[in-house]
Amino acid sequence: MLIAAARIITAVRAPYGAAEVLAPGYVAWENGQIASVGPGQPPGRPDIELGDGVLLPGLVDIQVNGYFGVELSAADEVGWGAVARRLPETGTTAFVPTFITAPVAEMAAAVRRAADFAPDLAGMPGAARVLGVHLEGPFISPKRPGAHNPAWAAAPDPGAVADLLAAGRGLVRVMTLAPELDGAMAVIRQLTSAGVLVGVGHSDATAAQVSAAARCGARLVTHLFNAQRPLHHRDPGVVGQALADTRLVSSLIADLHHVAGQVVAIAFAAAPGRICLISDASACAGMPPGRYALGGEPIELGEGDGTPPVRADGTLAGSALRMDSAVANMVATGVGLADAVAAATRIPADLIGRGDLGRIAAGAAADLTWLGDDLRTRATWVAGRLAYGSHLG
């Protein structure tokens, strides 16, 4: 397959750290892998010509609680498959299902159930890739629960971690925890040694405690600004350390409700190349207003495009965000398109150790998304197979 495009954002680092932009350019792939990419006219007659919009790597979302009416922590193989098949509509070609805080035994049972069928989804044609599971909890601070049930928060325990990892049989890829809790540093080292990405989140940690977590191997700050000790000029907290510490990448819920546009701009300016866009989508994403569930407890999605769901007390409870909208929202705040794309592709892919994803480069997977000039998804390819955009089939 050979595609010519008016504009391509490769998300590959160019000189001085900027993402590479080809205008025009071409991409060729074979057997699900990119064979060549370059500027100017293609070296042959293209199979597809994209005369407008922008071609970019498939979007990578490392925090998805649910989508299209499906809560992933409670769903079976059919539910996961339904989400994976439809996420390419949003430009997403790879994602990490996320389970929020629950009693440890229940979380282990949910991970064990998912591990029974998740490998069978790996080769599902035309579906977004499942990259593992993100356990957001249960080792969180009851002081910063957000939409999590604080009664289910648990103290970090190596035995509980071992049980969760054993239940997942390699499926657990990310865990978010509060590093200020007793025993957290040992657990961070345990998880890091097991190849699990550790995120700081739902945390009342001081800057020094976040720095200590990074020394132990933590590399992520989960949904920057939300459910964590904020920035104060004499108490940098989680936010201040996240923005200042080059060891850390911060995920950001980019719906402009969880974080105001001006603050988004500050984050990108303060931590260039270290912001990762996530949807933190709940089961209500892609669905009409109504009642849904997050962590087995009710949430309500109201009217209004992009409005996040809430708990009964008004607490924000995940989002109803599309990843292509996340990119568009960042651009609306003044972030450059290439930087916004990198934050939704290469940066999260690298963070979870998938250097074959999130970039348009020879040898990378042929996961691609074509956005219109309005930055809405027009077509998506996963492993070189058209997953969305029947007009191009």
Which residue out of 61, 204, 245, 280 is catalytically annotated?
280
Tokens of 216: 């132990």
- The set of residues, in sequence order, having a beta carbon less than 8 Å from that of 106 and lying 6+ positions away, is none
The string over 29-57, giving b where at least 16 C-beta atoms fall within 10 Å of a residue's C-beta and e elsewhere, is beeeebeebeeeebeeebebebeebbbbb
Rounded distance between C-alpha atoms, residue 105 and residue 157, angstroms = 13
Rounded distance between C-alpha atoms, residue 147 and residue 320, angstroms = 15
Contact of 318 with 98, CB cutoff 8 Å: no
Name the nearest CA neighbour of 3 among 125, 30, 375: 30
- Residue spans of alpha helices (H) in the chain: 77-86, 104-121, 158-168, 184-193, 207-216, 237-244, 261-270, 323-332, 337-343, 346-351
Rounded to 5 degrees, φ, ψ at 363 are 95, -15
Tokens of 184: 């957290």
Rounded distance between C-alpha atoms, residue 67 and residue 16, angstroms = 37
CB atoms within 10 A of CB 285: 27
Q: Please confirm, yes or no, whether 76 is among the known catalytic residues.
A: no
Name the nearest CA neighbour of 340 among 330, 350, 355: 330
**Single-letter residue type at 186:** A
Supply the residues annotated as catalytic.
280
